[in-house]
Chains A and B, each alone.
Chain A
Amino acid sequence: MRALYRASRFATSTIRSLLYESYRFGTFSPLIGGERSFCSHSREKSREGAVDLSQYPPERIRNFSIIAHVDHGKSTLADRLLELTGTIKKGHGQPQYLDKLQVERERGITVKAQTATMFFRHKFQQHEATENENAPNFLLNLIDTPGHVDFSYEVSRSLAACQGVLLVVDAAQGVQAQTVANFYLAFESNLAIIPVINKIDQPTADPDRVKAQLKSLFDLDPNHALLTSAKTGQGLEHVLPSVIDRIPAPPGKCDSPLRMLLLDSYYDEYKGVICHVAVVDGALYKGDKIASSATGHVYEVSDIGIMHPELTPTGVLLTGQVGYIVSGMRSTNEARVGDTLHQAKSTVLPLPGFKPAKHMVFSGLYPADGSDFDALNHAIERLICNDASVSVTKETSTALGMGFRCGFLGLLHMDVFHQRLEQEYGAKVLSTIPTVPYIFEYSDGSKVQVQNPAALASNPGKSVTACWEPSVIATIILPCEYVGPVITLCSERRGDQLEYSFIESQRVLMKYQLPLREIVVDFYNELKSITSGYASFDYEDAEEGVEGKLELWRSTLQSKDFCLSSSKTEYMECNFSSNRFSGRFVTLSNQAINICICFRYLGSIHNIKLSVAEMRVLRWMSGFTFSNMIRNKHIREKVGVALVTNKIRESLLRWYGHVKRQPFDDPVRRVVVLNWPMLRKVEVYLKRLVKLDILLNGQAVDAMATIVHNLKAQRVGRELVDKLKKFIDRQMFEISIQAAIGSRIIARETISAMRKNVLSKCYGGDVTRKRKLLEKQKEGKKRMKRVGSVDVPQEAFHELLKVSKE
């Protein structure tokens, strides 16, 4: 079978080489798709085998990604690179080529990872100008990733398929919060980082300032930064050569059994599930039977190819290549991002890092038009075909009827899901106030996880002994004149400051641990408004930062002879066996976690090069202020040096006054103990979270219940009541709006009865017009949700979402 197939491939490739000639002379073959015309020699398309991937061994492949803060020009740069290589034709196709969803275009964000394969002739490590014709052709895969923290897991998987990134920074705006987060993602993944200072054509561009920032924040060599303007095309000619010169080739083994990483998947009405994959080791041919490491399911590959930029069948994907497969998966649920796919008959060690989606934010979704549950159900079913990271369970609300409780990766994810439901599936959705998953522990020892505040009993009859809420680590970068109000904002939101440092004379980087609940609604808007839009904000999952990372690293470290223990012992003797250095990590699970780190220098100081895992350790060790360490020290090869010198200890001492020296400090083995108060468990103690009910004419509205911090209940209650008063129209009777904790009313407003609503005008015989007027009024009623006897407009539910800050 395979032999036959290869034979036919050989035949087609001869034809192809003929076609190839016609390309070069600018004649178009009828065999090439008629929708687009291509003039680049690198454009081979439309027919299986039109691209001969065997020409591209790993050393001729570069897999890279572009990472940037929002609006720093990532998508435009991607467009230019696609045009430059003739992958898309200039002026044709839509801008932001890789952002295919309407929501992505509207918001200028990337939600789904996209990949495009480009071909580029370049003389590797070129020192002298050569004829371009003789230069070897490279296959470049641009893997576009979402930039937002909500999708950081997807990003990390996408980055796992890359060997390098272009870190794009706006020449005028400089480094922003998301730049920092993205840098560390790439840095942790041990990727080559090419700084690109973009938008240098702007009048306010200040590349030197940005270079200084890159140097001080990330220790990136300013001389290595590329200066570009994706808009004017200035400097773009250096980008791809730098990619080829500075990013290593994919490291996979051609002769090993197939292992490929599933990057993303989407559902196509005609083809079914289409998976984006990166072949790490081995090769995959059309017709192969593959299996999923996560589920064990076996599929037959019915179509395979590259995205060039649309699906272009190639019949094969070889080591280091990135492309798509169609394999008869029925829903994207089966295609889990991060999964390892392999030949069905062989067993392989799965690629590291697979984990199921973790839902941080929950919200109820209800049909906006009263009874139209089926339409919403259908829309959600179809959308989760394309976005398997949403969890969906049916729920019923007395106020809103039948609906769904959906779990999202984060706020943006929720928003995007919402918008896609409306835009792509025409569903009209009413969503309840988003909530985070809380855990309540009662006096009888029972624990409840609450994803819907309404599910929490208002009067449970037993006391709550403890409750937990998730929190995040937020990075905020802002001009120093706004520091005061931002600190106030963060402390209002129950935030704990973790870090405060100047990244340059006028700009401050702050890190806060914030309860997720406090930023779920409105935090970013508030932050933007008090800083006139100058602050940038990003966050990461704090729980991830503590427990999740411990877990993740426990496995990575153990494989590297590190050992991580959560024992209560002060510290434990190190077990040195690595040929570099090794240590033992002892965590003490008090309120504060003491971390004891022992390192022993085993080789020559100057030869130390840290592995990815080691870098992670380093970052973990220094926690959220790694940037400070890096900033004060050198790039990563040298960090290892710094680590074992006294300098690093000094730096740690400077940042944490409470770093202690351990008794057995000897020149070979250096021990640092950090007393680390900010790494405390994400807990809120004893009875400090309460359920806040909203009552309309004495009847609790389940869809409006929220869980709030006790201290804020009064204020939130007042605000919710005021908001509702503004949005509920007067009705034929008086309406009371109350906020209550248990049976205690904490806020109340009254809406007086409507006095008059009559069409007392002579419309003569124009009955149709009269009827239409009243039908409009009826439609208005339909858009209302009836809660007991009270009609609540949907806007009221939407408006409640905005209440949060106090």
Chain B
Amino acid sequence: MPRAMPAPLQLLFPPFSLPLKYKPHPISHLTSVRSSILYPPAVCGNSSTASPHITTPPPPPSSIYIHLPFCRRRCHYCDFPIIALGSSSRHYDDDPRINTYIRLLLREIRATKPYSSLQLPIKTIFFGGGTPSLVPPRLIASVLDTIRTKFGEVAADVEVSMEMDPGTFDAGRLEEMVGVVGVTRISLGVQAFQEELLRECGRAHGRREVDEAIELVSGSYGPRSWSLDLISSLPRQTEEMWEESLRLAVSAGPQHVSVYDLQVEEGTKFALLYTPGEFPLPAEAQSANFYIMASETLKHAGYEHYEISSYCKPGHECKHNITYWQNQPFYGFGLGSASYINGVRFSRPRRLKQYEEFVKDLEAGHMSAKNNASIVVDKEMAMDVVMLSLRTAKGLDLKSFQRSFGESLVLSLCRAWRPHVESGHVVALDEERKAISIGKFDLELNGDCQLGRRVAFLRLSDPEGFLMSNELIAVAFGVLSP
């Protein structure tokens, strides 16, 4: 269990012992202003991330991820921890498997010790899956109730997101979810508008369900914000199909669009059948083209490309996902879910049986960090910050990064990326977020003057830089963890 882990280490690093390295704890600089006030960065910080809360307790999480693993069937590209219920029955509301799971989930939430007495109101809750819309609204409500009991009343502007699949809800259910239970944001898993592609992916719905679902979600029962999710580079997907999907997506009028690029994951049906870049999957150039098409079409339709695979109308960012990209802590509950609390990342068991045992251990209070828990050390923290922030249009905040990880690291990072700044894949921005030319970048890189006088942010360009993000992040990793 995440928080059980640092306990013995506290003895090893008593407060005010000789610091191993003189460095304030990074998290404190990367959190919101409000939490910085509550937890001012400690100047005399102990650098050991194993015991950050001794001198500088990181902020408590104000985001919660809930995993609801039920699906009618497994899609051919999916490698998430899910439980396929089988598509024979259309009525899952009394399915004992769902009831049992939710009971287990509630036990986990109850057994979790709140981070501290200073628990802040929860600001985002995300029901991911799986297909959370298969879970009856009353059970979702019971989860939210338990959260309130455990962590106190949620923030007034709380974002409650839920992934929903076409064909899993009708008007009544939607109304109940949004109006009664309190879901404020829906992420609609459309994936494609073409019957043949939906079939190819093994989706449990067809085009008709897609159209119905869009009509419902964008209608009067729908939430104030919803996202339409698409997948590009599907097998046998043509440029015409993609163009059509993008066009229909825009005309559906969601506030948010997520465009995922198909990843052929090990162990999936697709991995058995296909090789990336080879027919029937689109060639790399074609796949890059799909990405560029999405970026251009959606920008043209008034969407901001605020993260590698996310587009939104102004003000409709997914607040929950932003928690991740800002490397802020979050709770995670349910099968296979990940949490990041107190500098410890922990992934729950992906199998139901082990998950049940985990919950029992947690209740019994003898949770040891036996599996999947890892203390994020400084180096990894820097890597996480770079990796996550570069996914966003905002990019890497150099000043904050420098405060946390030192000037020399920022310098080497800039040096490593210099060729990419020159090639235009990486954009250097000043305080006003105006792009800085390579000449001026060089001046600052080679000049005696302190770095950061002018360059305030580094971001990946859209779309070329985003398309190469792995490559560019790997270059940065080479600097951070040689």
A residues 676-700 in Cβ contact with B at 8 Å? none
List the one stretch of A63-71, A305-313, A541-549, A768-776 in contact with chain B: A768-776
Name the one of A767, A768, A774 contacting B470, with C-beta atoms under 8 angstroms: A774
Chain B interface: which of A212-220, A610-618, A749-757?
A: A749-757
B258 beta carbon closer than 8 Å to chain A: yes
Which B401-425 residues sit within 8 Å CB-CB of chain A?
419-420, 423, 425
Beta-carbon contacts of B248-288 to A below 8 Å, as 1s and 0s? 00000000001111010000000000000000000011011
Q: How distant is the Cα of A789 from the Cα of B284 in the complex, in angstroms?
A: 23
B284 near A771: Cβ-Cβ < 8 Å: no
Question: Which of the segments A519-527, A580-588, A601-609, A777-785 contacts the partner chain?
Answer: A777-785
Does A764 lie within 8 Å of B468, measured CB to CB? Answer: no
Measured between C-beta atoms, what is the minimum distance from A733 to chain B in Å? Answer: 7
Known: A767-B345, A777-B474. A758 touches B468 (CB 8 A): yes
Residue from B126, B380, B469 in contact with A757 in the complex, judged by beta carbons closer than 8 Å:
B469
**A756-B467 in contact (CB<8A):** yes
Complex CA gap A754/B420 in Å reads: 14
Q: Which of A733, A771, A777 has the most CB of B within 10 A?
A: A771
* A760 and B338 contact, CB distance less than 8 A: no
Q: CB-CB < 8 A to A774: which residues of B?
A: 383, 387, 470, 473-474, 477
**Beta-carbon contact of A768 and B478 below 8 Å:** no
Q: How far is the CA of A760 from the CA of B307 in the complex (A)?
A: 10
Q: Hey, which chain B residues are within 8 Å of A731, CB to CB? A: 471
Among B259, B261, B309, B468, chain A packs the most CB atoms within 10 A around the CB of B468
Contacts of B473 on A, CB cut-off 8 Å?
774, 777
Bound CA span A371–B324, Å? 34
Neighbouring A residues of B263 by C-beta, 8 Å:
759-761
A768 engages B345 (CB within 8 Å): yes
- Chain B residues with Cβ below 8 Å from A780 are 474
Contacts of B374 in A (CB 8 A): 768
Q: Interface SS of chain A: helix, strand, loop or mixed? A: loop
CB neighbors of B among A508-543 (8 A): none
B: interface residue count bin: 35 or more
Question: Could you give, for residues 441-481 of chain B, a 1 whenever the CB lies within 8 Å of some chain A CB and a 0 otherwise?
Answer: 00000000000000000000000001111110111011001
List the A side residues contacting B324 at CB < 8 Å: 764-765, 767
Cα–Cα, bound, A780→B474 (Å): 9
Q: What is the distance, in angstroms, from B108's C-beta to the closest C-beta of chain A?
A: 16
Cβ of A790 to closest chain B Cβ, rounded Å: 11
Cβ–Cβ contact B128 & A757, under 8 A? no
- Are B338 and A756 interface neighbours, CB within 8 A? no
Within 8 Å of chain B (Cβ to Cβ): is A1? Answer: no
CB neighbours (8 Å) of A106 from chain B are: none
The answer to whether A762 and B258 have CB atoms under 8 Å apart is: yes
User: B478–A781 contact, CB under 8 A?
Assistant: yes
Chain A residues with CB under 8 A of B261: 756, 758, 760-761
> In the bound complex, do residue B347 and residue A754 qualify as a contact, i.e. CB atoms below 8 Å apart?
no
Q: Which of A757, A761, A770 contacts B387 (CB 8 A)?
A: A770
B308 A758 Cβ-Cβ under 8 A: yes
Among A765, A769, A777: residue with most chain B CB under 10 A: A765
- By beta carbon, the residue of chain B nearest A761 is B263
Contact A761 B347, CB 8 Å, known A732-B420, A756-B291, A778-B474: no
Selected from B387, B467, B474, the residue in CB contact (under 8 A) with A781 is B474
Q: Give Cα distance in the complex from A156 to B406, angstroms.
A: 64
* Contact indicator A767/B423 (Cβ below 8 Å): no
- Chain A residues, CB < 8 A from B169: none
Instruction: Out of A758, A767, A768, A775, name the residue touching B477 (CB < 8 Å).
Output: A775
| A679, chain B: closest CB distance, angstroms | 57
B345 proximity list for chain A (CB < 8 A): 767-768
Bound together, the chains give a CA A755 to CA B466 distance in angstroms of: 11
Chain B contacts for A757, CB-based, 8 A = 467-471
Cα distance A765–B291 in the bound complex, in angstroms: 23
A760→B387 contact, CB < 8 A: no
A757, A770, A781, A789 interface centre (most CB from chain B within 10 Å): A757
Q: Please state if B470 and A758 are interface contacts (CB–CB under 8 Å).
A: yes
CA distance A760 to B470 in the complex (A): 10
Complex: A762 Cα to B230 Cα, angstroms: 11
| Partner of B481 from A371, A756, A775 at Cβ < 8 Å | A775
Which 10 A-B pairs give the minimum distances between C-beta atoms?
A760-B261, A778-B477, A756-B288, A755-B288, A777-B474, A760-B309, A757-B470, A778-B474, A766-B338, A765-B338
Query: A732-B420, A756-B261, A759-B308 known; 8 other A-B pairs, CB under 8 Å?
Result: A757-B471, A759-B263, A759-B470, A760-B261, A764-B337, A765-B65, A766-B338, A777-B477
What are some 19 contacts across the A-B interface (CB < 8 A)?
A: A732-B420, A755-B285, A755-B287, A756-B261, A756-B284, A758-B470, A760-B260, A760-B308, A762-B309, A764-B338, A767-B338, A768-B374, A771-B387, A774-B470, A775-B383, A777-B477, A778-B475, A778-B477, A778-B481
